[in-house]
Amino acid sequence: MCESLSLKIPASTANLGVGFDSIGMALNKFLYLNVQINNSDRWSFKHIGPNVEGLPIDETHYIYQIAQQVANRYEVTLPPLDIEMRSEIPLARGLGSSASALVGALYIANYFGDIELSKYELLQLATEFEGHPDNVAPTIYGGLVLGYYDPQTKVTDVSYIDPPRADMIITIPSNELSTTLSRNALPETFSHKDAVRNSAISNTMISALIQHNYELAGKMMEQDGFHEPYRQHLIPEFQTIKRIAKRYHSYATVISGAGPTVLTMIAPERSGELVRELKREFIHCRSELVTINVTGVESEVLYQRH
Ligand code: HSE
């Protein structure tokens, strides 16, 4: 019998405007990993389809690096593995592709190292690697998750709210935007006055989302002062998408994660018309409707004869 671990890991959109590094939502676009023990003495990676071309096929792979760090921490030895990787999540576009790969590596180490990490522990580890929970938390749990990582204690606390009952459109530019570059565009410091203002906007946005008041939530999302003012020049399409979306009475248009993908939240009656208009207007981008993922990572162990 040959045993394989199959993982279906969702993408995520971080920040939602005002929740920089703390709010994220899982999306129904997936990284698929199929993992089995091989008979050699090393790991190998096989990449199928778009979004994974050019990734290393040997032990320089990010998933190998992370999985080994986890194995070392828990003092277990992982067997040599063959990993087949397929992905619907474009790389370096602000849809959490590296967080999904990171979470995949943790699940692989957990399973093949027989560590028995709980979901809570997986989240703690993932956030420690990533530095903030906004992509990894929804990727692990699904839905809309808010969280805070305390770098001193290395503890991550999370809280969940109902995902919005609104439609989501993502417009994905053809170019990549490095997260490092996008984070380097941010200011080092923030005045007390600005912090108070932005935390008020963020608090109001969350309260409005809890009450499913999307008009108010959207109004707040679009007033972010934590990251969008400093990053929007890196995404030339952003302001035009926002303007067009407003013609369709969208609730909000924000930068997804570190960009360059742009996320629009809109009423279901109007989403179809808008996404088609965005497709016509931005032929070099991919505009699509995307649904919110509520399951988080799905894993399955399969057995087959050799
Ligand atoms: N919150 C992060 C950012 C997400 O906006 O940079 C990408 O890591």
Q: How far is Cα 21 from Cα 207, in angstroms, rounded to an integer?
A: 18
**C-alpha dist (Å) from residue 30 to 200, 240, 260, 267, 274:** 34, 28, 19, 24, 24
Q: What is the pLDDT of residue 305?
A: 73
Mutational test site, ligand 1, from 135, 181, 228, max ligand atoms within 8 Å of CB:
135
Residue 1 has pLDDT above 80, yes or no: no
Nearest atom (ligand 1) to Cα of 132? 1
Query: Residue 220 is encoded by which pair of tokens?
Result: 């707040």
Range 167-290 has CATH code 3.30.70.890: yes
Over residues 220-236, the mean pLDDT reads: 97
Q: What is the pLDDT of residues 116-125, one digit of tens each?
A: 999 999 999 9
**pLDDT single digits (tens) 124-155:** 999 999 999 999 999 999 999 999 999 999 99
Closest CA relative to residue 121, chosen from 100, 107, 101 = 107
265 has pLDDT over 80: yes
Q: Is 259 annotated as a binding residue?
A: no
Mutation probe of ligand 1 site: the residue of 134, 226, 228, 230 with most atoms within 8 A of C-beta: 134
State mean pLDDT over 5-10: 98
pLDDT at 7: 98
Residue 202 annotated as lining a ligand binding site = no
pLDDT in the model for residue 304: 79
Q: Is the pLDDT of residue 160 over 70?
A: yes
Tell me if 21 CB under 6 Å of ligand 1. yes
| 234 in contact with ligand 1, CB cutoff 6 A | no
| Any ligand 1 atom below 6 A from CB of 134 | yes
The predicted pLDDT at position 194 comes to 96
Confidence of residue 306 (pLDDT cuts 50, 70, 90): low
- Domain ranges, ordered by start, for the chain: 2-162+293-304, 167-290
- Say if CB 215 and CB 130 are below 8 A apart: no
State yes or no: pLDDT of 83 exceeds 70. yes
> Fold match between 2-162+293-304 and 167-290?
no
Fold of 2-162+293-304: Ribosomal Protein S5; domain 2 (3.30.230)
- In the structure, what pLDDT confidence band is assigned to residue 46 with cuts at 50, 70 and 90? very high
